[in-house]
Amino acid sequence: MPWLIALFVLACFAPALSQSPVPSSASDATKDALSAANALFKQGKFQESAAAYVEILKKDSSSAQAYAGAVKSYLKADDVKAADENSQRALAALPQSALAHAMRGDVYFRQALMPESEREYRTALKLDDKCARAWLGIGRLNSAASRRHSAKQSFTKAHELEPQDGDILYYWAQRLPYPQNVTELEKHLAEYHSDPDKERAEREYIGFIKNLAGRRIWVPARAVEQAEIKMETLLFRPRAPQRGFGLRVRFNDQTSSSLLLDTGASGVTIKRKLAEKIGATRLSDLTMKGVGDSGPVSGYDAWVDKVTIGDLEFHDCVVHVSTKDNFGEEDGFIGANIFEDYLVTLDFPAGKVRLAPLPKRSDDADEHRPADLQSFTQVFSFGHLLLMPTNVGDTASGLFALDTGALTNSMSPAMARQVGKVHDSNIHVRGVSGAVKDVYTADRALLQFSHFRQPTEEMVTFDVSPLSKTIGTEVSGFIGFTTLKKLKIMIDYRDGLVDFDYKGE
């Protein structure tokens, strides 16, 4: 029986990192060398630009711009170890450099060390409140913590300070209204290059928002204050173990289908056969990536006039369509973020989804959690992924994705090596991008997240580094269905908060 991982990365990618401007205080030789290295960086030749920045540092070890360029190049090439080493050298050589602290923050962010990352960005701003890269870092942290208003303010501040930085341009442009967002994103795509996968994803994203043309989507047909939706039990096959829970979804008042309820997916994703049956209208190309070694899966975004889920009715909907039949028995997935306007309770022991009004905030600021949700734990959102701070045993911690589309718990090889030994395995893991070739098991480990402790168990281990590279922070593993089905999970997507209630067997 395959251990399925249903995980998508839909237009969620780290943009090309930009070159920094050449400081006027640098020597003529350093200026020329920095300009040449920056040109390589802008062309997306990150290994070459890293080597060029390192060569500058051999002659001028006081160049903060060269250190920053090297760190950014290594991060873009996903050589986190080299980025880490160079950021430490930068701080040792230039402890009062705001830029050096900001780049150290970027490395911590990539390593999923969020408190350490924020500390470095705050230190940078104390040294120089006009450090654009520090404002960018604060914006990325705010965005991951679902503080959207604060994130937008930080990105705007960063853009005002350094409009020629490619990262800053991208994050700022994403939050502009249509059609200004298209204009600025097309500028970014034309001027700042990256690897082919990232550039393709960016083209697809621009194509999507151009075709959407500013229209609102997933518009509620009527106000529904609260609702309760029955889950359906999904099996791999008759009399086989449970695959997960599904929701009955009706499209265009003509066809209903049970879709796997997947906290590791976004919106609604369906097979092409179902899309054609319901008359979904193609909008734009979409490449889907997930666990597996067969590479990206082609697909498209499509327009559906009406979607009904229980008592909820939505008009003008966009769904993701896969052109490859890679979903198993189900017609597709439905992400719990479809209900993001509610406080969502996934009561798996009772087999129900409950939707309630979100608690009011004490003020308009998004930095403070509602008083009614003080027991909830902050999670970090990257696209559709909810990453939960998780302790593994007594010696390690990381961010684990809450993923009811994954049958069981798993961890990355790097995390497994921190807590025990890794062993060969004949377990089959298959995801959206096909089978995983190299699968291992790790020694028995205790997972602790929020105030829940998962009993010690042997865990599947496989490489998730492509996912970590794509979203720009380290994913240490997945908390899957076999654990989450025992719980009642409360999710506040607006504030990035999650709580659990253990119901037992």
Cα torsion at 97, 99, 102, 108 (round to 10°)? -80
The model's pLDDT over 70-115, given as tens digits with 9 standing for 90+, comes to 999 999 999 999 999 999 999 999 999 999 999 999 999 999 999 9
pLDDT reported for residue 231: 97
pLDDT reported for residue 395: 85
CATH architecture of 219-356: Beta Barrel (2.40)
462 three-class SS: strand
- The answer to whether 170 and 76 have CB atoms below 8 angstroms apart is no
Domain 371-502 in the same topology as domain 219-356: yes
229 burial (CB, 10 Å; 0-12 / 13-18 / 19+) is middle
Looking at the chain, the whole-number percentage of residues with pLDDT higher than 70 is 87
Query: Distance of CA 141 to CAs 136, 144, 149, Å?
Result: 9, 5, 12
pLDDT reported for residue 16: 42
Give mean pLDDT, residues 217-221.
97
User: 345 or 264: which carries more pLDDT confidence?
Assistant: 345
User: 193 or 7: which carries more pLDDT confidence?
Assistant: 193
**Residue-by-residue DSSP string for 287-304:** EEE-SSSS--EEEEEEEE
Give mean pLDDT, residues 122-151.
97
pLDDT reported for residue 325: 72
407 three-class SS: coil
Q: Where are the alpha helices (DSSP H) in 213-353?
A: 272-278
Give mean pLDDT, residues 146-170.
97
pLDDT reported for residue 365: 64
The model's pLDDT over 451-480, given as tens digits with 9 standing for 90+, comes to 888 776 778 898 889 899 999 999 999 999
Task: Give CA–CA dist 118/134, Å, rounded.
Answer: 9
The model's pLDDT over 323-369, given as tens digits with 9 standing for 90+, comes to 887 666 789 999 999 999 999 999 999 999 999 999 987 665 666 77
Peptide bond preceding 179 in cis form (omega within 30 of 0):
yes
Going by C-alpha positions, the residue among 481, 487, 468, 482 that lies closest to residue 412 is 468
**How many other C-beta atoms are found inside a 10 Å radius of the C-beta of residue 79?**
16
User: 401 or 19: which carries more pLDDT confidence?
Assistant: 401
pLDDT at residue 277 greater than cutoff 60: yes
Looking at the chain, the whole-number percentage of residues with pLDDT higher than 90 is 70
pLDDT reported for residue 42: 95
Confidence category of residue 310, pLDDT binned at 50, 70, 90: very high
Q: Which helix (H) or strand (E) holds 234?
A: strand 232-235
Burial 282-311 (b: 16+ CB within 10 A, else e): ebbebbbbbbbebebbebbbbbbebbbbbe
295 three-class SS: coil
Tokens encoding 219: 């518009």
Report the CATH number of the 10-19+27-212 domain.
1.25.40.10
Q: Which helix (H) or strand (E) holds 410?
A: strand 410-411
Q: Return the minimum-mean-pLDDT range out of 27-31, 44-48, 65-69, 497-501.
A: 27-31
pLDDT reported for residue 226: 96
The model's pLDDT over 476-505, given as tens digits with 9 standing for 90+, comes to 999 999 899 999 999 999 999 999 998 654
Peptide bond preceding 220 in cis form (omega within 30 of 0):
no
503 three-class SS: coil
User: 291 or 101: which carries more pLDDT confidence?
Assistant: 101
Q: Where are the domains of the chain?
A: 10-19+27-212, 219-356, 371-502
Question: What's the CATH fold of domain 371-502?
Answer: Cathepsin D, subunit A; domain 1 (2.40.70)
Confidence category of residue 10, pLDDT binned at 50, 70, 90: very low
Decide the pairing of beta strands 452-462 and 410-411.
Answer: parallel
User: Which one-letter amino acid corresponds to residue 411?
Assistant: M
Going by C-alpha positions, the residue among 438, 435, 450, 457 that lies closest to residue 491 is 450
Give mean pLDDT, residues 420-438.
64
Task: Give CA–CA dist 92/66, Å, rounded.
Answer: 14
- The answer to whether 401 and 7 have CB atoms below 8 angstroms apart is yes
Q: Return the minimum-mean-pLDDT range out of 25-34, 72-81, 112-121.
A: 25-34
Confidence category of residue 7, pLDDT binned at 50, 70, 90: very low
| Mean pLDDT computed over every residue of the chain | 89
Query: Distance of CA 433 to CAs 7, 220, 301, Å?
Result: 9, 33, 18
pLDDT reported for residue 408: 86
Length of the chain: 505
Going by C-alpha positions, the residue among 128, 158, 162 that lies closest to residue 141 is 158
pLDDT at residue 443 greater than cutoff 60: yes
pLDDT at residue 434 greater than cutoff 80: no
Confidence category of residue 13, pLDDT binned at 50, 70, 90: very low
Task: Give CA–CA dist 157/132, Å, rounded.
Answer: 8
pLDDT reported for residue 295: 64
pLDDT at residue 41 greater than cutoff 60: yes
Please provide residue 315's backbone torsions phi and psi, each rounded to the nearest 5 degrees.
Answer: -115, 160
307 beta partners: 251, 314
